[in-house]
Amino acid sequence: MPVVREFRLPDLGEGLTGAEVVRWMVEVGEVVAVDQPVVEVETAKAVVEVPCPYGGVVTARYGEVGEEIAVGAPLVTVAVASASAAVLPEAAALPEVSAAPVAERAAEVERPLVGYGVAEPGRGGRRRRVGATAPVAVAPVTPVAPVAPAAPVVVPVISPLVRRLAREQGVDLAALTGSGPDGLILRADVERAVAARVAVPAAVPVAPAVVEGVVPLRGLRKAVAEKLSRSHREIPAATCWVDADATELMALRRQLNETPGPKVSVLALLARICTVALARFPELNSSVTEDGSGIIRHSAVHLGFAAQGERGLVVPVVRDAHSRTTEQLGEELGRLTEAARGGSISPAELTGGTFTLNNYGVFGVDGSTPILNHPEAAMLGVGRIVAKPWVYQGELAVREVTQLSFTFDHRVCDGGTAGGFLRFVADCVEHPGVLLRQL
Protein backbone atom coordinates (compact mmCIF):
# COMPACT_ATOMS: atom_id res chain seq x y z
CA MET A 1 0.00 0.00 0.00
CA PRO A 2 1.27 3.50 -0.78
CA VAL A 3 1.82 6.29 1.70
CA VAL A 4 0.54 9.78 0.91
CA ARG A 5 3.09 12.56 1.11
CA GLU A 6 2.01 16.19 1.02
CA PHE A 7 4.40 18.61 -0.68
CA ARG A 8 3.99 22.24 0.40
CA LEU A 9 5.16 25.37 -1.41
CA PRO A 10 8.72 26.01 -0.17
CA ASP A 11 10.26 29.38 0.65
CA LEU A 12 11.41 30.58 -2.78
CA GLY A 13 13.45 33.54 -1.56
CA GLU A 14 13.89 35.99 1.31
CA GLY A 15 10.86 38.16 1.92
CA LEU A 16 8.50 36.20 -0.36
CA THR A 17 5.20 35.06 1.11
CA GLY A 18 3.56 33.37 -1.85
CA ALA A 19 3.57 32.64 -5.57
CA GLU A 20 1.07 32.57 -8.41
CA VAL A 21 0.47 29.36 -10.34
CA VAL A 22 1.54 29.89 -13.96
CA ARG A 23 1.40 26.33 -15.31
CA TRP A 24 0.90 22.85 -13.95
CA MET A 25 3.50 20.43 -15.32
CA VAL A 26 1.87 17.21 -14.02
CA GLU A 27 -1.62 15.74 -13.98
CA VAL A 28 -3.43 13.81 -11.25
CA GLY A 29 -2.58 10.13 -11.71
CA GLU A 30 0.79 10.83 -13.32
CA VAL A 31 3.93 9.15 -12.03
CA VAL A 32 6.64 11.65 -11.06
CA ALA A 33 10.29 11.19 -10.18
CA VAL A 34 12.16 12.66 -7.22
CA ASP A 35 13.03 16.32 -7.87
CA GLN A 36 10.90 16.45 -11.04
CA PRO A 37 9.38 19.93 -11.62
CA VAL A 38 5.62 19.78 -11.00
CA VAL A 39 4.51 23.40 -11.31
CA GLU A 40 5.75 26.71 -12.69
CA VAL A 41 5.04 29.68 -10.42
CA GLU A 42 5.59 33.41 -10.59
CA THR A 43 6.81 35.20 -7.49
CA ALA A 44 7.33 38.91 -6.99
CA LYS A 45 10.88 38.44 -8.23
CA ALA A 46 11.08 35.62 -10.79
CA VAL A 47 9.32 32.79 -12.64
CA VAL A 48 10.57 29.43 -11.35
CA GLU A 49 9.84 25.74 -11.76
CA VAL A 50 9.24 23.98 -8.43
CA PRO A 51 10.53 20.38 -8.13
CA CYS A 52 8.85 17.86 -5.84
CA PRO A 53 11.05 15.97 -3.32
CA TYR A 54 8.90 12.80 -3.61
CA GLY A 55 8.68 10.14 -6.28
CA GLY A 56 5.36 8.41 -6.83
CA VAL A 57 1.84 8.97 -8.18
CA VAL A 58 0.25 12.42 -8.01
CA THR A 59 -3.06 12.05 -6.16
CA ALA A 60 -4.11 15.71 -5.89
CA ARG A 61 -3.16 19.20 -7.02
CA TYR A 62 -3.98 22.40 -5.17
CA GLY A 63 -4.52 25.72 -6.91
CA GLU A 64 -5.57 26.66 -10.41
CA VAL A 65 -3.64 28.75 -12.95
CA GLY A 66 -3.73 32.37 -11.80
CA GLU A 67 -4.30 31.46 -8.15
CA GLU A 68 -1.86 32.59 -5.48
CA ILE A 69 -0.50 29.94 -3.12
CA ALA A 70 1.02 30.99 0.18
CA VAL A 71 4.40 29.68 1.32
CA GLY A 72 3.74 26.56 3.38
CA ALA A 73 0.40 25.76 1.72
CA PRO A 74 -0.11 22.39 -0.04
CA LEU A 75 0.88 22.11 -3.71
CA VAL A 76 0.46 18.40 -4.46
CA THR A 77 0.04 15.10 -2.68
CA VAL A 78 1.98 12.08 -3.88
CA ALA A 79 1.41 8.40 -3.15
CA VAL A 80 4.84 6.87 -2.59
CA ALA A 81 5.77 3.23 -2.14
CA SER A 82 6.14 2.10 1.49
CA ALA A 83 7.06 -1.13 3.26
CA SER A 84 4.27 -0.51 5.80
CA ALA A 85 0.61 -0.16 4.85
CA ALA A 86 -0.35 1.66 8.03
CA VAL A 87 2.15 4.50 8.24
CA LEU A 88 -0.50 7.13 7.60
CA PRO A 89 -4.27 6.68 8.07
CA GLU A 90 -4.93 8.36 4.73
CA ALA A 91 -3.19 5.49 2.97
CA ALA A 92 -6.03 3.11 3.80
CA ALA A 93 -8.46 5.21 1.75
CA LEU A 94 -6.32 5.08 -1.40
CA PRO A 95 -6.73 2.46 -4.10
CA GLU A 96 -3.96 0.06 -4.89
CA VAL A 97 -1.05 1.63 -6.75
CA SER A 98 1.40 -0.30 -8.86
CA ALA A 99 4.51 -0.31 -6.70
CA ALA A 100 7.00 -1.23 -9.41
CA PRO A 101 7.37 2.14 -11.18
CA VAL A 102 6.83 4.03 -7.95
CA ALA A 103 9.32 2.25 -5.72
CA GLU A 104 12.22 3.02 -7.98
CA ARG A 105 11.70 6.78 -7.52
CA ALA A 106 10.06 7.04 -4.12
CA ALA A 107 11.50 9.01 -1.23
CA GLU A 108 10.01 8.43 2.22
CA VAL A 109 11.79 11.37 3.89
CA GLU A 110 11.26 14.91 2.66
CA ARG A 111 14.46 16.54 1.45
CA PRO A 112 14.89 20.32 1.46
CA LEU A 113 15.16 21.49 -2.15
CA VAL A 114 18.48 23.00 -3.16
CA GLY A 115 18.31 26.78 -2.84
CA TYR A 116 15.02 26.73 -0.90
CA GLY A 117 14.39 27.12 2.80
CA VAL A 118 12.23 24.70 4.77
CA ALA A 119 8.74 26.05 5.43
CA GLU A 120 7.83 26.55 9.07
CA PRO A 121 5.18 24.20 10.49
CA GLY A 122 1.70 25.66 10.40
CA ARG A 123 2.73 28.50 8.15
CA GLY A 124 0.74 29.21 5.03
CA GLY A 125 -2.79 29.02 3.80
CA ARG A 126 -3.82 30.22 0.40
CA ARG A 127 -6.11 32.75 -1.10
CA ARG A 128 -7.83 33.17 -4.42
CA ARG A 129 -7.39 36.37 -6.38
CA VAL A 130 -10.74 35.99 -8.12
CA GLY A 131 -13.54 33.79 -6.81
CA ALA A 132 -12.87 30.60 -4.86
CA THR A 133 -11.97 27.14 -6.04
CA ALA A 134 -11.69 23.97 -3.98
CA PRO A 135 -8.60 21.80 -4.33
CA VAL A 136 -8.67 19.20 -7.05
CA ALA A 137 -10.30 16.05 -5.68
CA VAL A 138 -8.30 12.90 -5.25
CA ALA A 139 -8.75 10.83 -8.39
CA PRO A 140 -8.70 7.03 -8.46
CA VAL A 141 -5.24 5.91 -9.42
CA THR A 142 -4.87 2.99 -11.81
CA PRO A 143 -1.70 1.11 -12.58
CA VAL A 144 0.32 2.76 -15.29
CA ALA A 145 1.37 0.47 -18.10
CA PRO A 146 4.96 0.88 -19.21
CA VAL A 147 5.21 2.89 -22.41
CA ALA A 148 8.22 3.11 -24.65
CA PRO A 149 9.70 6.59 -24.16
CA ALA A 150 9.25 8.90 -27.11
CA ALA A 151 12.20 10.77 -28.51
CA PRO A 152 12.32 14.14 -26.72
CA VAL A 153 11.73 17.26 -28.75
CA VAL A 154 14.32 19.85 -27.77
CA VAL A 155 13.08 23.40 -28.20
CA PRO A 156 15.82 26.03 -27.73
CA VAL A 157 14.06 28.24 -25.20
CA ILE A 158 15.71 29.42 -21.98
CA SER A 159 13.25 31.97 -20.65
CA PRO A 160 10.09 30.62 -18.98
CA LEU A 161 8.46 33.92 -19.88
CA VAL A 162 8.95 33.19 -23.58
CA ARG A 163 7.33 29.78 -23.09
CA ARG A 164 4.46 31.38 -21.23
CA LEU A 165 3.89 34.01 -23.94
CA ALA A 166 3.90 31.31 -26.61
CA ARG A 167 1.44 29.25 -24.61
CA GLU A 168 -0.93 32.19 -24.12
CA GLN A 169 -0.79 33.15 -27.81
CA GLY A 170 -1.05 29.59 -29.11
CA VAL A 171 2.36 29.63 -30.80
CA ASP A 172 4.10 26.30 -31.45
CA LEU A 173 7.69 26.87 -30.31
CA ALA A 174 8.89 23.78 -32.15
CA ALA A 175 7.87 25.44 -35.42
CA LEU A 176 9.92 28.59 -34.80
CA THR A 177 13.49 29.36 -35.80
CA GLY A 178 15.17 31.39 -33.06
CA SER A 179 17.08 34.57 -33.85
CA GLY A 180 19.27 34.33 -30.75
CA PRO A 181 22.66 32.67 -30.33
CA ASP A 182 22.67 29.02 -31.51
CA GLY A 183 19.05 29.36 -32.62
CA LEU A 184 17.77 30.43 -29.19
CA ILE A 185 14.11 31.45 -29.38
CA LEU A 186 13.60 34.96 -28.02
CA ARG A 187 10.49 36.87 -27.06
CA ALA A 188 10.77 38.87 -30.29
CA ASP A 189 10.52 35.63 -32.29
CA VAL A 190 7.24 34.73 -30.60
CA GLU A 191 5.86 38.25 -31.08
CA ARG A 192 6.75 38.13 -34.78
CA ALA A 193 4.91 34.83 -35.12
CA VAL A 194 1.84 36.33 -33.47
CA ALA A 195 2.01 39.42 -35.68
CA ALA A 196 2.33 37.30 -38.84
CA ARG A 197 -0.68 35.23 -37.85
CA VAL A 198 -2.96 38.22 -37.35
CA ALA A 199 -1.52 40.40 -40.11
CA VAL A 200 -3.97 41.94 -42.60
CA PRO A 201 -3.37 43.28 -46.13
CA ALA A 202 -1.90 46.78 -46.16
CA ALA A 203 -4.67 48.01 -48.46
CA VAL A 204 -7.32 47.38 -45.82
CA PRO A 205 -7.57 50.27 -43.36
CA VAL A 206 -7.61 49.06 -39.80
CA ALA A 207 -8.93 51.21 -36.98
CA PRO A 208 -6.70 51.31 -33.90
CA ALA A 209 -7.88 48.97 -31.20
CA VAL A 210 -9.14 50.59 -28.02
CA VAL A 211 -8.52 48.56 -24.89
CA GLU A 212 -10.44 49.47 -21.82
CA GLY A 213 -10.64 47.74 -18.49
CA VAL A 214 -8.82 47.01 -15.26
CA VAL A 215 -5.43 45.31 -15.42
CA PRO A 216 -4.79 43.46 -12.15
CA LEU A 217 -1.52 44.09 -10.32
CA ARG A 218 0.25 40.75 -10.16
CA GLY A 219 3.67 39.30 -9.54
CA LEU A 220 6.53 41.70 -10.12
CA ARG A 221 4.29 44.67 -10.97
CA LYS A 222 2.41 44.23 -7.69
CA ALA A 223 5.63 43.92 -5.69
CA VAL A 224 7.06 47.05 -7.31
CA ALA A 225 3.85 48.99 -6.66
CA GLU A 226 3.80 48.00 -3.00
CA LYS A 227 7.47 48.78 -2.47
CA LEU A 228 7.36 52.19 -4.16
CA SER A 229 4.14 53.12 -2.34
CA ARG A 230 5.76 52.25 0.96
CA SER A 231 8.87 54.24 0.08
CA HIS A 232 6.85 57.29 -0.90
CA ARG A 233 4.71 56.97 2.23
CA GLU A 234 7.46 56.39 4.80
CA ILE A 235 10.63 58.09 3.54
CA PRO A 236 11.02 61.90 3.57
CA ALA A 237 13.06 61.98 0.36
CA ALA A 238 14.76 64.98 -1.22
CA THR A 239 16.63 65.34 -4.52
CA CYS A 240 19.52 67.54 -5.64
CA TRP A 241 21.21 67.56 -9.03
CA VAL A 242 24.12 69.00 -10.99
CA ASP A 243 25.37 69.02 -14.59
CA ALA A 244 28.78 67.45 -15.14
CA ASP A 245 31.25 67.43 -18.03
CA ALA A 246 31.82 63.74 -18.78
CA THR A 247 34.20 64.30 -21.69
CA GLU A 248 37.29 63.06 -19.84
CA LEU A 249 35.43 60.08 -18.39
CA MET A 250 34.36 58.99 -21.88
CA ALA A 251 37.92 59.52 -23.15
CA LEU A 252 39.23 57.32 -20.34
CA ARG A 253 36.76 54.61 -21.28
CA ARG A 254 37.90 54.70 -24.89
CA GLN A 255 41.53 54.42 -23.79
CA LEU A 256 40.79 51.46 -21.52
CA ASN A 257 38.91 49.67 -24.28
CA GLU A 258 41.79 50.07 -26.73
CA THR A 259 43.87 47.66 -24.64
CA PRO A 260 43.38 43.86 -24.71
CA GLY A 261 40.94 42.44 -22.21
CA PRO A 262 37.25 42.83 -21.24
CA LYS A 263 35.58 46.05 -22.36
CA VAL A 264 34.74 48.62 -19.69
CA SER A 265 31.21 50.01 -19.71
CA VAL A 266 30.12 53.46 -18.61
CA LEU A 267 28.00 51.77 -15.94
CA ALA A 268 31.07 50.00 -14.53
CA LEU A 269 32.95 53.31 -14.25
CA LEU A 270 29.95 54.93 -12.54
CA ALA A 271 29.68 51.96 -10.17
CA ARG A 272 33.35 52.35 -9.24
CA ILE A 273 32.80 56.06 -8.61
CA CYS A 274 29.85 55.22 -6.34
CA THR A 275 31.86 52.82 -4.19
CA VAL A 276 34.65 55.38 -3.75
CA ALA A 277 32.15 58.13 -2.92
CA LEU A 278 30.39 55.92 -0.36
CA ALA A 279 33.73 55.22 1.32
CA ARG A 280 34.08 59.00 1.69
CA PHE A 281 30.44 59.45 2.84
CA PRO A 282 29.64 56.15 4.63
CA GLU A 283 26.50 57.53 6.30
CA LEU A 284 24.74 57.27 2.93
CA ASN A 285 25.27 53.51 2.81
CA SER A 286 22.62 52.94 5.43
CA SER A 287 18.92 52.44 6.14
CA VAL A 288 16.46 53.39 8.85
CA THR A 289 15.12 50.71 11.20
CA GLU A 290 11.58 49.42 10.74
CA ASP A 291 10.25 51.44 13.69
CA GLY A 292 12.18 54.57 12.68
CA SER A 293 14.09 54.71 15.94
CA GLY A 294 17.60 54.26 14.55
CA ILE A 295 19.89 54.19 11.53
CA ILE A 296 21.62 50.99 10.39
CA ARG A 297 25.11 51.63 8.99
CA HIS A 298 26.14 48.96 6.48
CA SER A 299 29.80 47.98 6.38
CA ALA A 300 29.59 46.48 2.88
CA VAL A 301 28.32 48.15 -0.29
CA HIS A 302 25.80 45.91 -2.03
CA LEU A 303 25.20 47.99 -5.14
CA GLY A 304 21.81 47.74 -6.82
CA PHE A 305 21.31 48.98 -10.36
CA ALA A 306 18.17 49.44 -12.43
CA ALA A 307 17.80 47.00 -15.33
CA GLN A 308 14.94 46.58 -17.78
CA GLY A 309 14.02 42.93 -18.19
CA GLU A 310 11.23 40.95 -19.84
CA ARG A 311 9.11 41.26 -16.71
CA GLY A 312 9.72 44.98 -16.33
CA LEU A 313 12.14 47.03 -14.26
CA VAL A 314 14.18 45.06 -11.73
CA VAL A 315 17.10 45.98 -9.48
CA PRO A 316 19.83 43.31 -9.47
CA VAL A 317 22.43 43.63 -6.72
CA VAL A 318 26.22 43.42 -7.05
CA ARG A 319 27.41 41.94 -3.75
CA ASP A 320 30.42 43.51 -2.05
CA ALA A 321 30.85 46.07 -4.81
CA HIS A 322 33.34 48.01 -2.67
CA SER A 323 35.86 45.16 -2.88
CA ARG A 324 35.71 44.74 -6.68
CA THR A 325 37.87 46.36 -9.32
CA THR A 326 36.35 48.26 -12.23
CA GLU A 327 36.84 45.23 -14.46
CA GLN A 328 35.22 42.91 -11.92
CA LEU A 329 32.32 45.32 -11.50
CA GLY A 330 31.84 45.34 -15.27
CA GLU A 331 31.78 41.55 -15.48
CA GLU A 332 29.20 41.21 -12.70
CA LEU A 333 27.05 44.04 -14.04
CA GLY A 334 27.06 42.38 -17.44
CA ARG A 335 26.18 38.97 -16.04
CA LEU A 336 23.29 40.28 -13.96
CA THR A 337 21.98 42.43 -16.82
CA GLU A 338 21.83 39.44 -19.18
CA ALA A 339 20.12 37.34 -16.50
CA ALA A 340 17.54 40.11 -15.93
CA ARG A 341 16.83 40.48 -19.65
CA GLY A 342 16.49 36.73 -20.12
CA GLY A 343 14.23 36.25 -17.12
CA SER A 344 16.65 33.82 -15.46
CA ILE A 345 17.77 36.03 -12.57
CA SER A 346 17.23 34.47 -9.14
CA PRO A 347 15.29 36.06 -6.27
CA ALA A 348 18.48 36.17 -4.15
CA GLU A 349 20.14 38.36 -6.80
CA LEU A 350 17.35 40.94 -6.50
CA THR A 351 17.49 41.51 -2.74
CA GLY A 352 19.81 42.91 -0.10
CA GLY A 353 20.94 46.13 -1.79
CA THR A 354 22.26 49.04 0.31
CA PHE A 355 22.59 51.71 -2.42
CA THR A 356 21.19 52.01 -5.94
CA LEU A 357 22.70 53.36 -9.17
CA ASN A 358 19.99 54.34 -11.68
CA ASN A 359 21.26 54.94 -15.21
CA TYR A 360 18.05 56.28 -16.76
CA GLY A 361 20.11 57.93 -19.49
CA VAL A 362 19.74 54.69 -21.49
CA PHE A 363 16.12 55.74 -22.06
CA GLY A 364 17.26 58.98 -23.68
CA VAL A 365 16.23 61.29 -20.84
CA ASP A 366 18.29 63.92 -19.04
CA GLY A 367 16.91 63.95 -15.51
CA SER A 368 14.61 62.27 -13.02
CA THR A 369 13.47 62.42 -9.40
CA PRO A 370 13.27 58.70 -8.62
CA ILE A 371 11.59 57.09 -5.63
CA LEU A 372 14.05 55.42 -3.27
CA ASN A 373 14.36 51.65 -3.30
CA HIS A 374 13.02 50.99 0.21
CA PRO A 375 14.65 50.54 2.72
CA GLU A 376 17.76 52.10 1.15
CA ALA A 377 18.59 55.69 2.04
CA ALA A 378 20.07 56.98 -1.21
CA MET A 379 20.13 56.64 -4.99
CA LEU A 380 22.35 58.18 -7.66
CA GLY A 381 20.70 58.90 -10.99
CA VAL A 382 22.58 59.48 -14.25
CA GLY A 383 21.04 61.05 -17.35
CA ARG A 384 22.10 60.62 -20.95
CA ILE A 385 25.58 61.78 -21.93
CA VAL A 386 25.10 64.17 -24.86
CA ALA A 387 27.13 66.83 -26.69
CA LYS A 388 26.25 70.32 -25.43
CA PRO A 389 27.74 73.83 -25.42
CA TRP A 390 29.93 74.15 -22.31
CA VAL A 391 32.37 76.72 -21.00
CA TYR A 392 35.68 74.86 -20.85
CA GLN A 393 38.88 76.61 -19.73
CA GLY A 394 37.27 79.99 -20.25
CA GLU A 395 36.01 79.31 -23.76
CA LEU A 396 32.78 78.00 -25.23
CA ALA A 397 33.22 74.44 -26.47
CA VAL A 398 31.17 71.37 -27.34
CA ARG A 399 31.53 68.84 -24.50
CA GLU A 400 29.88 65.57 -23.49
CA VAL A 401 27.60 66.57 -20.63
CA THR A 402 25.38 64.59 -18.28
CA GLN A 403 23.01 65.49 -15.46
CA LEU A 404 23.55 63.73 -12.12
CA SER A 405 20.74 63.57 -9.58
CA PHE A 406 20.92 62.36 -6.01
CA THR A 407 17.85 61.34 -4.01
CA PHE A 408 18.32 60.73 -0.29
CA ASP A 409 16.44 59.98 2.92
CA HIS A 410 16.49 63.27 4.85
CA ARG A 411 16.36 61.34 8.13
CA VAL A 412 19.80 59.89 7.40
CA CYS A 413 21.61 63.09 6.44
CA ASP A 414 21.18 66.78 5.75
CA GLY A 415 21.72 68.70 2.53
CA GLY A 416 25.39 69.33 3.26
CA THR A 417 26.25 65.63 3.22
CA ALA A 418 24.08 64.95 0.17
CA GLY A 419 25.56 67.91 -1.68
CA GLY A 420 29.09 66.87 -0.72
CA PHE A 421 28.49 63.35 -2.05
CA LEU A 422 27.04 64.59 -5.34
CA ARG A 423 29.78 67.13 -5.84
CA PHE A 424 32.45 64.49 -5.25
CA VAL A 425 30.77 62.19 -7.80
CA ALA A 426 30.62 65.07 -10.31
CA ASP A 427 34.33 65.81 -9.74
CA CYS A 428 35.18 62.16 -10.43
CA VAL A 429 33.12 62.26 -13.63
CA GLU A 430 34.80 65.47 -14.79
CA HIS A 431 38.30 64.49 -13.62
CA PRO A 432 38.60 60.68 -13.40
CA GLY A 433 42.14 61.07 -12.05
CA VAL A 434 40.53 62.04 -8.74
CA LEU A 435 39.86 58.35 -8.25
CA LEU A 436 43.58 57.58 -8.15
CA ARG A 437 43.97 59.58 -4.96
CA GLN A 438 41.30 57.41 -3.29
CA LEU A 439 43.02 54.06 -4.02
What is the per-residue pLDDT across 234-266, written as a single tens digit (0 to 9) for each?
999 999 999 999 999 999 999 999 988 889 999
Residue at 143 is within a domain: no
- Comparing 419 with 142, the larger pLDDT belongs to 419
Residue at 149 is within a domain: no
Q: Do 188 and 120 lie in a common domain?
A: no
Residue at 208 is within a domain: no
Residue at 135 is within a domain: no
pLDDT tens readout for residues 330-385:
999 999 999 888 878 888 898 999 999 999 998 899 998 889 999 999 999 999 99
Least confident of 10-24, 86-100, 258-272: 86-100
Q: Do 190 and 233 lie in a common domain?
A: no
Mean per-residue pLDDT, 290-306: 94
Q: Given 198, 227, 250, which residue is the final one in a domain?
A: 198
Q: Given 141, 168, 198, which residue is the final one in a domain?
A: 198
- Comparing 411 with 12, the larger pLDDT belongs to 411
Query: Please, which pLDDT band fits residue 410 given cuts at 50, 70 and 90?
Result: very high
Query: Number of structural domains, the chain?
Result: 3
Q: Do 377 and 273 lie in a common domain?
A: yes
Q: Do 388 and 335 lie in a common domain?
A: yes
CATH code of 421's domain? 3.30.559.10
Residue at 268 is within a domain: yes
Q: Given 73, 103, 127, which residue is the final one in a domain?
A: 127
Question: Does pLDDT of 159 surpass 80?
Answer: no
Q: Do 286 and 393 lie in a common domain?
A: yes
Active site residue 172: no
Q: Do 92 and 61 lie in a common domain?
A: yes
Residues of the chain with pLDDT > 90, as a percent, come to 45
What local confidence, expressed as pLDDT, does residue 199 receive? 52
- Comparing 291 with 425, the larger pLDDT belongs to 425
pLDDT tens readout for residues 382-398:
999 999 999 999 999 99
Residue at 344 is within a domain: yes
Question: Does pLDDT of 310 surpass 80?
Answer: no
Q: What is the 3-state secondary structure (H, E, C) of the chain?
A: CCEEEEEECCECCCCCCEEEEEEECCCCCCEECCCEEEEEEECCCCEEEEEECCCEEEEEECCCCCCEEECCCEEEEEEECCCCCCCCHHHHHCCCCCHHHHHCCCCCCCCCCCCCECCCCCCCCEECCCCCCCCCCCCCCCCCCCCCCCCCCCCCCCCHHHHHHHHHHCCCHHHCCCCCHHHCCCHHHHHHHHHHHHCCCCCCCCCCCCCCCCCCCCHHHHHHHHHHHHHHHHCCEEEEEEEEECHHHHHHHHHHHCCCCCCCCHHHHHHHHHHHHHHHCHHHCEEECCCCCCEEECCCCCEEECEEECCEEECCEECCHHHCCHHHHHHHHHHHHHHHHHCCCCHHHHCCCCEEEECHHHHCCCCCCCCCCCCECEEEEECCCEEEEEEECCEEEEEEEEEEEEEEECCCCCHHHHHHHHHHHHHHHHCHHHHHHHC
Mean per-residue pLDDT, 305-314: 80
Q: Do 43 and 123 lie in a common domain?
A: yes
Residue at 420 is within a domain: yes
Query: Please, which pLDDT band fits residue 71 given cuts at 50, 70 and 90?
Result: confident
Mean per-residue pLDDT, 148-167: 59
Q: Do 188 and 66 lie in a common domain?
A: no
Residue at 83 is within a domain: yes
- Comparing 407 with 9, the larger pLDDT belongs to 407
pLDDT tens readout for residues 28-53:
999 999 888 999 888 766 778 888 88
Q: Do 109 and 18 lie in a common domain?
A: yes
Q: Do 175 and 115 lie in a common domain?
A: no
Query: Please, which pLDDT band fits residue 10 given cuts at 50, 70 and 90?
Result: confident
Which of these is catalytic: 232, 320, 414, 431?
414
CATH code of 78's domain? 2.40.50.100
Q: Do 175 and 248 lie in a common domain?
A: no
Which of these is catalytic: 232, 320, 410, 431?
410
Active site residue 414: yes
CATH code of 172's domain? 4.10.320.10
Q: Which amino acid is at 20?
A: E
Question: Does pLDDT of 125 surpass 50?
Answer: no
For the chain, the average pLDDT equals 80
Question: Does pLDDT of 316 surpass 70?
Answer: yes
Q: Which domain holds residue 30?
A: 3-127
Distance between start and end Cα atoms, the chain: 69
Q: In terms of C-beta density within 10 A (0-12 exposed, 13-18 middle, 19 or more buried), how is residue 38 classed?
A: buried
Q: Do 21 and 76 lie in a common domain?
A: yes
